[in-house]
Structure 1
């Protein structure tokens, strides 16, 4: 094993990056040679006076950059000559960089999640925590996971405490849990006129009757919601006040107060889906702040950290928490302990905030590309969102536009995907900007979309 210890004195920046850069420099100047074994992480951490987690992250970063490779049970070695690892998708997410350009999936952009995950798992391996995640957890999961969840929710505007938070297997599972706890077969479930597409399948399986409520340019209409409550026996509303999908509308503070007032007047329960709430640097307070006894606030880390990290958070009033815990137990017995540990570690050590900031920056950059390329067309978007809503010109029918785009190698979703009844489908498509791993493919896809919008002579595709 090589006795190697970098000199980090008088250098500024994140320590794990400084170590990774020092490894690269040592390889370049010959002080580290091919097949040299690096120091054990614990030893190097001790010599540098750093945490094991920092050194683990540094080694993971060096592996990602192609400087090192690890061998199970043997250690970490300087990489030999040969092809460097593919880095089109820096997080290691397996997303194709060839073939059709996919604007249908509302996922976060690939970032540095893989390196962070490798470091966190290495840290767990060297601690006494790992074995605990192989056993059943207490009702609601480990207390430290709930404490981390509450800490994650507070910057969104909630005065959250650990005993008010319930963990789930992602936001979609959280939605299922909420419906199991708050509605009964045959109940009416109110939704926005355009809504999260899987709610239709969930309602069908739970035997709930969906009733769409009209929207305007500010989002869900308070007057229409009041009418729906008066004219039905609805007990629950599902809505997305922040960066609504597919329209990208964010309700104002005033609109949220109005919606909350209607809910209080009719004793209407609310499921507030806030999965995109991490994106805007400034945002109105959640509906849950205006109607705390009515509202289950639902979010997850999947849209801001990594979609494979299936951890969701529900913040709920006391009168609903027992039923929500029971629904979690019924549907999956317990939250995913190892994933919750990873998410909690990232929240408490600042990793989640760094990854979150990357998503904000990348979302802004991609929205700027879309605004430039689609200039002159009817685009509804938020500069901080992952998607945009493109209202089509009169000479295009949405399904024909979708088919034409697909023939040119670009996939989009039409408005029909997001409505309760097909007759209400708007002539528009949703374009998700962050799924593609590299911006060049985003640009290519948007330019194809722009070209189609400018065409006026598609026999068989035009509305007549």
Structure 2
């Protein structure tokens, strides 16, 4: 029997944690199968040239984190799949290959971020600033973080200063803060006919009314926006001009200028959701460039660096700046300084650019794979995208297609969840391409979707 011995040379940090992380990674990649026996502690300590106490501590940590179970007299074993404490790693749950293939969660693959984060934690642990970061921040702001975030916004095409920046717990929190700052209970907020689903939840809790604005193949229709402004008393527009979710549409520059002019003419404040703006290499200028004085620009590092790095970046015009800051203070005081420190460290030292380059290459490969497998069934967007929008041909209906896919172990997002007018929701589904860690598994799911689109299982269309 081959004894599993981890390779620790490329890892940094305390040795017991390095061993525990190696156990979690080996479970994730299959090197350690469920119920596999780990080497006796003394043998592993000898093989690695470490003390027995270090290995004992690592095994205890691995058991605490749910990787393994120890039995007196029998040894230490990898937990079974589906056990009460399913194996997890520091970077998230180890995904069970029997679980449905997930095209619903619109998240990036973690990829190379995990080992980079381990290095960042090690540096942070040795930093003289750690005590300051752990302390209460009376102002709710750390100015070095604001400057780094402003630099990131500038890379997205929008000039910003540290004073204009507000950090939040992700983009969703940024949208919440922006709406708290710009709308009162009972107000009407304009948005695309298909929109970010949590916007509906936010509006419900803030007692706001959402009004759908028609879209075409280039995003919001200017004439429809102008008509909505005339027909309502709304003073706020929420929109996603770049790689709109769910459709993948990116609004052309001329259309952005038209929307900005209408906002000026009608006194609208724009909340621009730009969480995907980092992805296209030849990205259009943010809408905020055309109307910086009335646009609250919201982005996040969660989509472009790592999903668990919950830091949103909000660039605010002067008229709304203090109100947005107050909304953040009221809801959480400030995001975690330690999380913000890591995100801003990555922005400043070039790590963010390196992770973005990797992510663009990965998503390019995934988009190409999806287009190759799905063929004419999908209109591939002109830019890289995290998601694809598939308009269904009869006899398929969105709900029956979703159910048929789920019966074949594939989860897709139905168009209805994005619709502000559910009764007129398009018969379409969205496929998010980033969640599945394994490209081969993603391809398997895409082939099932292609088979369904080609008629396989279409008899399920009668299911309502």
Alignment of structure 1 residues 54-69 onto 2, 5 Å: none
Specify the alignment match of 2:387 in structure 1: 387
Equivalent position SS for 1:198: helix
Retained in 2: the 8 A contact 1:190–1:236? yes
Specify the alignment match of 1:126 in structure 2: 126
Specify the alignment match of 2:216 in structure 1: 216
Measure the CA separation in 2 of the matches of 1:317 and 1:400. 45
Measure the CA separation in 2 of the matches of 1:394 and 1:277. 34
Specify the alignment match of 1:189 in structure 2: 189
Measure the CA separation in 1 of the matches of 2:168 and 2:51. 35
1:269 Cα deviation after fit = 0.2
1:78 Cα deviation after fit = 13
Specify the alignment match of 1:275 in structure 2: 275
Equivalent position SS for 1:293: helix
Specify the alignment match of 1:45 in structure 2: none
Retained in 1: the 8 A contact 2:390–2:428? yes
The verdict on how the C-alpha distance between 1:292 and 1:37 changes in structure 2, with shifts beyond 3 A counting, is closer
1:428 Cα deviation after fit = 0.3
Equivalent position SS for 2:395: coil
Specify the alignment match of 2:335 in structure 1: 335
Alignment of structure 1 residues 388-407 onto 2, 5 Å: 388-407=388-407
Specify the alignment match of 1:410 in structure 2: 410
Specify the alignment match of 1:168 in structure 2: 168
Specify the alignment match of 1:108 in structure 2: 108
Specify the alignment match of 1:421 in structure 2: 421
Retained in 1: the 8 A contact 2:371–2:378? no
Specify the alignment match of 2:62 in structure 1: none
Measure the CA separation in 2 of the matches of 1:418 and 1:71. 56
Specify the alignment match of 2:247 in structure 1: 247
Measure the CA separation in 2 of the matches of 1:36 and 1:411. 36
1:68 Cα deviation after fit = 7.2
Please identify runs of 4+ aligned residues in structure 1 that moved more than 2 A.
Answer: 34-38, 54-75, 89-95, 378-383, 456-460
User: Structure 1, residues 46-89: CA drift from partner, whole Å, max 9, x if none?
Assistant: xxxxxxxx9769997997588979999969x999xx999xxxx9
Deviates more, 1:255-264 or 1:330-339: 330-339
1:270 Cα deviation after fit = 0.4
Specify the alignment match of 2:292 in structure 1: 292
Measure the CA separation in 2 of the matches of 1:402 and 1:101. 13
Specify the alignment match of 1:151 in structure 2: 151
Measure the CA separation in 2 of the matches of 1:35 and 1:200. 47
Specify the alignment match of 2:66 in structure 1: none
User: Structure 1, residues 226-261: CA drift from partner, whole Å, max 9, x if none?
Assistant: 000011000100000000000000001111000000
Measure the CA separation in 1 of the matches of 2:205 and 2:108. 28
Measure the CA separation in 1 of the matches of 2:53 and 2:125. 12
Specify the alignment match of 1:205 in structure 2: 205
Equivalent position SS for 1:374: helix
1:93 Cα deviation after fit = 3.8
Give the gaps of 5 or more residues in structure 2: 27-46, 60-75, 79-87
Measure the CA separation in 2 of the matches of 1:186 and 1:311. 29
Deviates more, 1:194-203 or 1:123-132: 123-132
Specify the alignment match of 1:345 in structure 2: 345
Tell me, yes or no, if structure 1 residue 96 matches structure 2 residue 90. Answer: no
1:395 Cα deviation after fit = 1.7
1:138 Cα deviation after fit = 3.9
1:462 Cα deviation after fit = 4.6
Equivalent position SS for 1:238: strand
Measure the CA separation in 1 of the matches of 2:51 and 2:250. 49
Specify the alignment match of 2:235 in structure 1: 235
Give the gaps of 5 or more residues in structure 1: 1-33, 42-53
Retained in 1: the 8 A contact 2:400–2:463? no
TM-score between both structures, scaled by the size of structure 1: 0.82
Equivalent position SS for 1:393: coil
Specify the alignment match of 2:435 in structure 1: 435
Retained in 2: the 8 A contact 1:57–1:116? no
Measure the CA separation in 2 of the matches of 1:71 and 1:287. 59
The verdict on how the C-alpha distance between 1:323 and 1:457 changes in structure 2, with shifts beyond 3 A counting, is closer
Equivalent position SS for 1:282: coil
1:94 Cα deviation after fit = 2.6
Measure the CA separation in 1 of the matches of 2:215 and 2:280. 22
Retained in 1: the 8 A contact 2:6–2:19? no
1:459 Cα deviation after fit = 3.5
1:35 Cα deviation after fit = 11
The verdict on how the C-alpha distance between 1:361 and 1:60 changes in structure 2, with shifts beyond 3 A counting, is farther
Retained in 1: the 8 A contact 2:218–2:251? yes
The verdict on how the C-alpha distance between 1:73 and 1:238 changes in structure 2, with shifts beyond 3 A counting, is farther
- Aligned residues between the structures: 414
Specify the alignment match of 1:312 in structure 2: 312
Measure the CA separation in 2 of the matches of 1:407 and 1:160. 49
1:170 Cα deviation after fit = 0.5
1:91 Cα deviation after fit = 9.0
The verdict on how the C-alpha distance between 1:37 and 1:253 changes in structure 2, with shifts beyond 3 A counting, is closer
1:421 Cα deviation after fit = 2.0
The verdict on how the C-alpha distance between 1:340 and 1:213 changes in structure 2, with shifts beyond 3 A counting, is same
Measure the CA separation in 2 of the matches of 1:263 and 1:78. 58
Measure the CA separation in 1 of the matches of 2:457 and 2:48. 56
